[in-house]
Every structure is written in structure tokens, then in C-alpha cells.
Amino acid sequence: MGTIDTILLDLGGVLIDVDYDRTASAFKQLGFTDFDGLFSKARQTDLFDRFETGELDAAGFRDELRRLFRPDLTDQQIDTCWNAMLGSIPQERIALVEQLKRRYQVLLLSNTNAIHVPAFTEIVRRENGITDFKGLFHGAYYSCEIGLRKPDVDAYLHVLGRHGARPEGTLFIDDSPQHVDGAWRIGLRAEHLDLAREDVVRMVLRLGLLS
């Protein structure tokens, strides 16, 4: 990979398994027979973008879902359904990050929210024995904490600037094509991880990052 000295990783799909259908199914079990249509309506109101940038806190997000879906939903019901999409981080991906850190500056940038953060932090603690998930990286950034989200170029620039990383010396890996496009716009060397074809471990080996 030439002069790469920094690797910037996505979280959902790249490190932690995510299944959006599980959240859809969980909400449908509460009676949302047209959940997909309601989800689209919520997306059109930029509800999720505001939640991911921290403009909307967890309480505000839950209230918006109650307004859109059903007013009698409890906080616990909403959180359980919303977190249903979160899977595990296979131990081999944890090992991969640790291997990469010996050779590169390894950073994390995730579009995430105030309900998911404690949920996946607990998953990693329980299943991987890691009590400080952010400490696994040289730097880890969540959109809901920095107020910026991919593919906004300012999100990448914020993270790179905090660590003195050069765009041309940084490899970005993400499973969302639009996020890869955003990284390309500021000169990052970006790779789209096609989860239907490979996982991040196989991609890293294919690219020769640890050879």
C-alpha cells in the first residue's frame, strides 16, 4: 500500500456485525406492520441524521419515535428494538486491530448514536473482555460526540487533524459506498468493503497491509 501510515476504520459492518432487519423485525413485533414505510418517513424528517450528530439526544429520539409510531412505547421497548441490529465483534477482528497498531496509526470513525454507544460498549465488554473499547485504537470518534458524520468531509478532517494524519497517507475502510466517496473527495485512499464478498480481515490480507 505504499506510503500508508494511518488506517481509519468504520465500526458498523466493518468491525461489529450489524443486521438492520433485526431492528425492523423487532419493531414489527410491536405492531408496526408497515415499519419500512414508517422508517422511511422518519428518514425523510432527518431524524436519524440529527440523532447521529448529537443534535437530538436519546430522550428526544425516543419521543420522536413515539410521535411517529406509537405514543405508549416505553424507553426500554424502543432501546431494545433499536439495539437489536447490533451483533458481535469476532475476536479475530479485535486481533486484527491489535496487529495493525504495531505498524500503523489506527483510528476509528463511526456514525453512531447515544443509544447504540452504551449498547455496543457493553457487548464488547461482555463478549470480548474489553472494558475500554476506545482504548483499542490510537483514537476513536463517534459522530454523536463530535457533531459530525460521514460522508461530511469535515468529519474526516476532524479526525485526521487530531492525529496529524495526512489524507494521502491514510487508508479508510468502510462498507458504505457514499462514505468512501466522501473520503475520496479530500484525498484519502479509501476502500469499499463489500460485505457480500469479504470481511475486513480478508481485505487487509488481500491488500497486503500486514505482509
Q: pTM to 2 decimals?
A: 0.94
Domains, the chain:
6-18+88-206 (3.40.50.1000), 20-83 (1.10.150)
Contact 16, 88 (CB under 8 A): yes
180-192 per-position pLDDT tens digit: 999 999 999 999 9
Q: What are phi and psi of 170, to 5 degrees?
A: -115, 130
108-153 per-position pLDDT tens digit: 999 999 999 999 999 999 999 999 999 999 999 999 999 999 999 9
The predicted structure's pLDDT at residue 10: 98
Distance CA 143, CA 166 (A): 21
CB < 8 Å & 24+ apart, contacts of 73-78: 73/30, 77/30
pLDDT at 2 over 90: no
Distance CA 41, CA 175 (A): 24
The predicted structure's pLDDT at residue 41: 60
pLDDT at 155 over 60: yes
All three cell numbers of 123, joined, read 457487548
Q: What are phi and psi of 202, to 5 degrees?
A: -65, -35
Pairing of strands 105-110, 189-192: unpaired
pLDDT at 1 over 60: no
DSSP for 4-62, please give it: --EEEE-SBTTTB-B-HHHHHHHHHHTT-TTHHHHHHHHHHTTHHHHHHTTSS-HHHHH
